Structure 1
Amino acid sequence: MTTNQSSLPVTVTLESGPAGNESIDDFELFYSRRAMARLRTRLGRQGLLDLLAADIEEGNAFLRESALASDGSFRGGTTVLTTRGLTSGEFLGWMDKAFADEDILLAAHPEHYSITNQADGSVHVVENIGPHTCSFYLGGWGTEAMAWAADAAERLPEAEFPHKQATNLFLADHTVIGRVLIQFGDTAAGFTSSLSVYVPSACPEDILEHHLRHFAVEFRNWIVAAAAARA
């Protein structure tokens, strides 16, 4: 009995050639990061923002409409990362310093386009939320600031996760288009990161799913960078 080759999944295995134990996926990731870094450098921040202006306008309009349709209702999800060989204090200490270096922040994800501190203490971010390129701010806009985080279902016990940070995501017109609650707790071998994001309830499911993936990529890369800086 012969097998119909066209019905089998196609796989490609690297047998020999390049040195080391990295995979083809690892090679592609390295070259993708290098290409993105080159484009960011050549264009500069303003050149990149000018290039993305139409995408940003479209993305912000989508988020604004979603927030209005949701009438203050959000739904969330959580990405959990386990780290060995580094404490949460070491990582968060590194992160505090990293926010003064945009290059480090941008390098954590290919869809980070601009991350800059503002005079009022907020942080201006241009990145993707799902397929949409958006320009928004991190901070405690509004009188309720972070009150929502105290009652969040995703909030974990202080004894296990003593390091907590919460923020609203809002547009330049102060429309709140998301929320973030990140929590860190040490373990015997390192620490656990619980990374919760909330999007307007009217958003399609894939918006939330992609930001959970976004968290996994950027925080993994920040943690690895923090460990490398310590060595």
Structure 2
Amino acid sequence: MTIDLEVLINGEAVSQDAVERWERNSAGRALRRLGLRANHMDLEKLRAELRARKLQLGHSGVRKLLRRELAVSDKYARLVAWLSRGGRRYSVIEIVSPEGSAAAFANWFEELAHRSREDVMVAAAPEHYLIATDAAGRQEVIETNGGSPMAARFFIDYADLSTLRSTPDPDYPSEVAGVARTPNGTAIGGVRHQFRDEGSGFRAKLTVEFPTFILPSYLAPVFCKISPSPSLLHSK
């Protein structure tokens, strides 16, 4: 099921055409990273090819293909975190769904993470290469952050809010938030995704925290295509 979502950056609407152009470009980069070539621009086919390739490679295959840039991005992330001394910059995007409820969506996301539904998580955006929950309950992520030239590997702990600098907005009663850390445990940012009911649907305010000294290009928003089930969207 596909839902017409309204996307806003700095309060200004982003057209569906712009979102799809971003997705096509992102899909092309992701396919090249995974050893394939995009021979067409059909979005549905690109999504299916990427999802199949990620699941075919599995964890070890993804890590092996991306090992060199993951090693570089890990060193960069730790250096920038050290220079930033806990300071943060934010990348924020709002998405409005005409259906569903804030609490149901937040619960759905948390359930996906708890059950480690990688098939859904890696399909949410082209440059989500691996998103899985480990034995400690943390979410291991390998993805390209915003406008970064490299993929990165980090862990998000949704039970840990200790180093987040953003503050909850009281107008958004539902929240999914957690600290992001490098494999050696260095805090490099985190997420604070907030949701509220609005009209017949809900609004999401999605915030990603980066270290203060991150390159500005990393802050480019990422559009995620998520198609939850009709029964979930209509639950209030």
Bin of the TM-score, shorter chain as denominator length: 0.7 to 0.9
Q: Which runs of 5+ in 1 are unaligned?
A: 1-23
Change (3 A) 1:191 1:57: same
Report how far residue 148 of structure 1 moved.
5.2
Counterpart check, 1:171 vs 2:182: yes
Change (3 A) 1:61 1:33: same
Tell me the residue number matched to 1:225: 228
Structure index of larger Rg: 1
Number of aligned positions between the proteins? 193
1:63-78 matched pairs, under 5 angstroms: 63-78=77-92
Are the aligned partners of 2:118 and 2:132 in contact in 1 as well (CA < 8 Å)? yes
Tell me the residue number matched to 2:71: 57
Provide the rounded CA distance (Å) in 1 between the counterparts of 2:52 and 2:174.
Answer: 35
Provide the rounded CA distance (Å) in 1 between the counterparts of 2:173 and 2:232.
Answer: 24
Provide the rounded CA distance (Å) in 1 between the counterparts of 2:112 and 2:176.
Answer: 16
Counting aligned pairs with the same residue, the percent is 23
Normalised by the length of structure 2, the TM-score is 0.73
Change (3 A) 1:163 1:140: closer
**Residue 139 of structure 2, aligned match among 123, 127, 140:** 123
Name the amino acid aligned to 1:118.
Answer: D
Give CA deviations for 1:101-121 in whole Å, capped at 9, x if unaligned.
111111111111111112222
Counterpart check, 1:80 vs 2:80: no
Tell me the residue number matched to 1:10: none
1:1-231 matched pairs, under 5 angstroms: 28-99=42-113, 100=115, 101-129=117-145, 130-139=148-157, 145-147=160-162, 149=164, 152=166, 155-157=168-170, 160-209=171-220, 212=221, 214=222, 217-218=223-224, 221-222=225-226, 224-227=227-230
Provide the rounded CA distance (Å) in 2 between the counterparts of 1:82 and 1:179.
Answer: 22
Task: Report the 3-state secondary structure (helix = DSSP H, G, I; strand = E; otherwise coil) of the residue aligned with 1:78.
Answer: strand
Report how far residue 207 of structure 1 moved.
0.6
Are the aligned partners of 1:60 and 1:135 in contact in 2 as well (CA < 8 Å)? yes
Give CA deviations for 1:161-180 in whole Å, capped at 9, x if unaligned.
11122211101211111121
Q: Which moved more, 1:91-100 or 1:79-88?
A: 91-100
Report how far residue 41 of structure 1 moved.
3.4
Are the aligned partners of 1:81 and 1:194 in contact in 2 as well (CA < 8 Å)? yes
Are the aligned partners of 2:110 and 2:176 in contact in 1 as well (CA < 8 Å)? no
Provide the rounded CA distance (Å) in 2 between the counterparts of 1:88 and 1:117.
Answer: 23
Are the aligned partners of 1:198 and 1:208 in contact in 2 as well (CA < 8 Å)? no
The structure with the greater share of residues assigned to helix is: 1
Are the aligned partners of 2:86 and 2:163 in contact in 1 as well (CA < 8 Å)? no
Give CA deviations for 1:75-101 in whole Å, capped at 9, x if unaligned.
113111111111112222322332221
Give CA deviations for 1:141-198 in whole Å, capped at 9, x if unaligned.
8xxx42555x735x311xx311122211101211111121111111122111011111
Normalised by the length of structure 1, the TM-score is 0.75
CA RMSD of aligned residues (A): 2.4
Name the amino acid aligned to 1:128.
Answer: T
Are the aligned partners of 2:96 and 2:204 in contact in 1 as well (CA < 8 Å)? yes
Task: Report the 3-state secondary structure (helix = DSSP H, G, I; strand = E; otherwise coil) of the residue aligned with 2:129.
Answer: strand
Provide the rounded CA distance (Å) in 1 between the counterparts of 2:87 and 2:66.
Answer: 29
Provide the rounded CA distance (Å) in 1 between the counterparts of 2:142 and 2:212.
Answer: 22
